[in-house]
Structure 1
Amino acid sequence: MPARPTPVSVGAPGETSAAMPDEAEQPVSALNASGDSQEVSDAAHGSKDSLEDLRNPVLDHYVALMTYMQATRAEIVRGICTFRVLQGAPRLWWRGRLHQLHRHSEMVTLLDEFWSHSWLVHPATKYLSVLFLNNGLPAFVAGAACAFVTFSLYATGLLPWKRMCTPSGAVGYYLTLLLWRCKKRVFLDVACVNQHDPQLKMEALVSIGAFLKRSRSLLVLWDATFVSRLWCMFEMAAFLHSHGLETRGKSLVICPVFVGPVFVIGNLGLCVLCMIFNFWPLPLFPSGGLLIATLTFPCLTLVSYIVLLHCRNIETMQKQVRNFTVQDSSSHCCASGHYDKRTGEHLICDRSIILRCVSAWFGSTEQFESLVRGKLLEVLVDQLANGTFTYWRLVQVNSPVLWVCLDILQEFLDNGLNMFLTLILYWLMVLPNMALIMLRLTYMVRLWCESTFARVLLAVGLVAVGTVLFGLCYATQVWLLPGFLTYLQSNLILVIFGGLVTLLLWCCVPAIRSPSPDSTII
């Protein structure tokens, strides 16, 4: 290796320049010159430096590595266990030493998941998202198990205190959420790419294709500017190329970056609300009900407002994707004028490298752009509009309802079947169905208001509609049907009817789609 390598920039926005190894040490030959004409034409709109980069013989070796999705060395492909990130990142980030996660990475031949994200999004938001996506289900199981064990101990007389299901469920849920040792090996750039050794960093960046090729799935932490970032679109293109276009729905997971904060904070807020309901010394009506309404209305309005923004972002994303071009996408090197502001040295353009790789994979950049506007648009809309708030995610978030119903059941053990049916009705049917109806309503009215104040009013109106729906269900269960039937009979009827409605809503209602004019072009 040369003692003082030439600095270049090949990486995601926000990354500093890295070093280019000696040309003689490259394991893959350069691309044929016959393919250069299209690549040079694609880069014709770029700077003069970009055209010079395309003729750089050393750069040809890197383009070949990325095109064939090979690594410079086997040792470069590294992964890190998910629990190492989730348990170590907060402490290291607080101390400004997040790069020390690299010590926990190890050489791998296969990766379970590749995490694609923006450096511009706050780390806490991304952390809560991957925390919920990876540990949410184990936490739900642990919380339910703790609540059921507490209920059983009280029912058998071994536990003298009642209404402890909610506290024990919360303890089990949040301890598991934070401490679960998920051993899935993932690629996270700050952990798997050496941030201090320029040589190793450069090798990892040009080996990014090998990381993607060896990953079973790609997790995209999506935000509103995702489509406009060239490097993020390149990672998705590389994954689709290496895994095949028809597997995109199975192994390509697109999750809005706000999902983690909304679900984690929503579960925590619901847990606090259930605690208040459990231990409030005054009767539920009217003081208890007034307190619960005072606490829940602003929280639900905030959630409704966030979901409304999410639906508007989906609409914005569709417009961006329908007009997507590689040349209009932003890259760090072009924004900085292809010069490192700290050293004044020339930066090789990311765009020129990406154009050559995309042309080799898809035939031309135009073909890739057609793919993005067609099939990729379908995946984006489907996962963002239909795959974000799934039935089982909503059931997990509503787990405090299960815990508090077990607490109530402790006081009505002689009427256990009736209370159990009530639990099933509200936890598994009423609340998820209401959420789905409100989500569809929110998507329908997403373009009604432009100003922030108008959107807040619209969010309040949506919460009011949801409140009316819940009130109708509660009134039917408590007052309407019991006037003609016993409580047990009315609950049986409601559970059967609610089960049918749940199946129809979640299985038969057509998914939200976005037809693309270029959907037939591959």
Structure 2
Amino acid sequence: MQLQKPELLRAVPAWRVLRNFGRVLRDSSVNSRKLRALFLLSAKVPFIKEFWSHSWHGRQSMKIWLLLMLKNGLPAVCVGTFAAFLAAGLSYLEILPGWYKAPRIQSPGFSGEFRYSCWALFSGVVASLLTLLLWRSGDRVFLDRVCIHQGDDVLKAQAILHLGAFLKSSKTLVVVWDATYLSRLWCVFELAAFLHSHKDDVQAKLVIKPIVVAPLMFIMMTGGVLSFAFELILPSNGLVLIVQAVYTLGLSLLATYVQEHFWHEVFTAEQQFRAFRWQEVTCACCSTGHLTADGQRILCDRVILEQCIVQWFGSVEALEALVRTSTRDTFLQQATRGFPFGYLWLLGGGSFILWGQADHVAARAHGGAHWHATSVLITTVAWFLWVSPSAYLVFGRIARWMQKKQGAKLSAPSYCTVKFAGYSASVVSTFLPSLWQWWLYSTLLDPVLAALAFAGTSLVFAILAYGLFANPQTQRNPSG
């Protein structure tokens, strides 16, 4: 896997791939002129920071959202949070307009109405969304459509023969995983070759992001923002509280459903790994008859890759054994260990907590209830750093349990019982932290003491939940 021709090692700035909502990934029409233009987007590099491995047969819109989150998510959260805190400060100073309403939780000595607004929440959403779409990440990434000349047979063949060297020169392999990933020839080849070429490199990094992360982040952000908007704008009466409870109920069920779909894909992937055969995977060139849109012939990827496989692994059978064993174990460990989709990603998806609570802090501080504003800051830290992530950890393990039971060929009554028990547990997990916080505030009276009690007890629960649920013993599908 040595790079014989350094001029073949190319990469493209991530922003060029993701601009115009990933036009490079969305444009399915190809001809000789477009293929050359795509190739010219890339340039020679000494190494590749990220190698993007993905299936062209997955849902392109979800893939683009996922890659936008991967490359622009951190700047989006930082810019959004800065904008939210700035707006909260301007609201506190009465530079931005607001309205008076009674909060749901009153403070001793500071009952009545406070000057509320949703400027921090609104500013955080708008600023983060614009940053997510427009930020220009300069990270050099390898994307096959851009970095391999698809319209020149000679350059394409040379690049494919050097693909192992490209992977060896890559610091990180980013796997955009969907249900079609393991059925595509290129995807399996890239994953196995990266692990093989970096088996002794402790600094090499494998990042696996299921495409289902995109809709889950959307559900988290949209659902949370709307929930805060309801509380900030609507009056605090019994009817509104019931509407909020019903809304939160639906949101928890939807989040569990999405994670159940994720675990279905995990179990399917394990079965695909166990039964992997090189001859059963497919590639795009064979499906198009080895012709471009304007009728020019292109080389068959399978023929070229089989030559590489024999050169690198000794035989096709050796590659199959690697995929079925060590590659499978690494893949599943990355996809399922710890918090679902990653702790930092859950923090990013929960950044609306900071934005919405900033409006609450500004309202309390403006009304002189600084002690209660301090308590809101304490509970905000708790909700953001461990309450919300641990809740999604519990949702994920409940969804995994339901999916495993679903594969056990249950009778109809047993199946319904499993579903009812699973979704009921999700609902309880959703409401329990809020009810516990409300009870502490009602019982202890001192808001800061109540906030500290909530933060401490919820942290203990989060640690216990992580110890119990973070590392499932097996991902095996019982039906297999």
TM-score range, shorter chain: 0.7 to 0.9
Q: State the partner residue of 2:193.
A: 238
Match of 1:289 in 2: 241
Match of 1:255 among 209, 215, 218: 209
* Aligned residue in 1 for 2:3: 70
TM-score (norm: length of structure 2):
0.81
CA pair 207-88 structure 1, distance change in 2 beyond 3 A: farther
Q: 1:474 aligns with which of 434, 438, 442?
A: 434
The equivalent of 1:115 in structure 2 is 52
2:463 alignment counterpart = 503
Partner of 2:382: 425
- Following superposition, the deviation at residue 227 of structure 1 comes to 2.2
CA separation in 1, counterparts of 2:137 and 2:70? 11
Match of 2:358 among 389, 397, 406: 406
Tell me the alpha carbon deviations over residues 187-235 of structure 1, each in whole angstroms, 9 at most, x when there is no partner. 1122223344444444433332332222111111111232232221111
**Contact between 2:398 and 2:425, CA under 8 Å: does it hold in 1?**
no
Q: CA deviation at 1:376?
A: 1.4
Pick closer, same or farther for the CA change 1:458–1:78 going to 2, 3 Å: farther
Q: Which residue of 2 aligns with 1:165?
A: 120
**One-letter amino acid of the counterpart of residue 240, structure 1:** L
State the alpha-carbon separation in 2 of the partners of residues 237 and 408 from structure 1.
50
Q: Indicate how the Cα distance of structure 1 residues 262 and 351 shifts in structure 2: closer, same or farther if over 3 A, else same.
A: same
Residue of 142, 150, 161 corresponding to 2:87:
150
Q: Classify 1:192/1:246 alpha carbon distance in 2 versus 1 (closer, same or farther; 3 Å).
A: closer
In the alignment, residue 84 of structure 1 is paired with which amino acid?
R
Distance in 1, matches of 2:467 and 2:214, equals 25
| Aligned residue-pair number | 443
- 2:66 corresponds, among 117, 123, 129, to 129
- Give matches, 1:316-465, under 5 Å: 316-332=268-284, 350-386=301-337, 388-413=340-365, 414=369, 415-449=372-406, 462-465=422-425
| Residues 82, 184 of structure 1: 8 Å contact kept | yes
Change (3 A) 1:395 1:438: same
CA contact (8 A) 2:173 2:205 kept: yes
Q: Distance in 1 between the 2:285 and 2:22 partners? A: 30
Q: Does 1:305 align with 2:242?
A: no
Tell me: CA distance 1:496–1:273, structure 2 relative to 1, closer, same or farther (3 Å).
closer
2:58–2:179 contact (8 Å) kept in structure 1: no
Give the distance between the partners of 1:246 and 1:192, measured in 2 at CA.
24
Larger radius of gyration: 1
Between the aligned residues of both structures, percent identity stands at 30
What one-letter code is carried by the residue in structure 2 that aligns with 1:378?
A: D
User: Is 1:80 matched with 2:37?
Assistant: no
Separation in 2 of the partners of 1:108 and 1:428? 39
Asked whether the equivalents of residues 92 and 363 of structure 2 are also in contact (C-alpha less than 8 Å), the reply is no
Contact residue 381 and residue 514 of structure 1 kept, 8 A: no
Aligned-partner Cα distance in 1 for 2:364–2:296: 75
TM-score calculated relative to the size of structure 1 = 0.75
Q: Distance in 1 between matches of 2:468 and 2:417?
A: 31
Aligned 1:155-234 pairs, distance under 5 A:
155-161=92-98, 162-234=117-189
The 1-side partners of 2:74 and 2:349 are apart by 10
* Distance verdict in 2 for CA 1:95–1:293, change over 3 Å: farther
* Mapped contact 1:382–1:512 kept (Cα < 8 A): no
Query: Which amino acid counterpart does residue 175 of structure 2 have in structure 1?
Result: V
What 5-or-longer segments of structure 2 have no aligned partner?
99-116
Query: SS of the residue aligned with 2:51?
Result: strand
Q: Distance in 2 between matches of 1:102 and 1:381?
A: 34
SS in 2 for 1:218: strand
Q: Which runs of 5+ in 1 are unaligned?
A: 1-67, 517-522
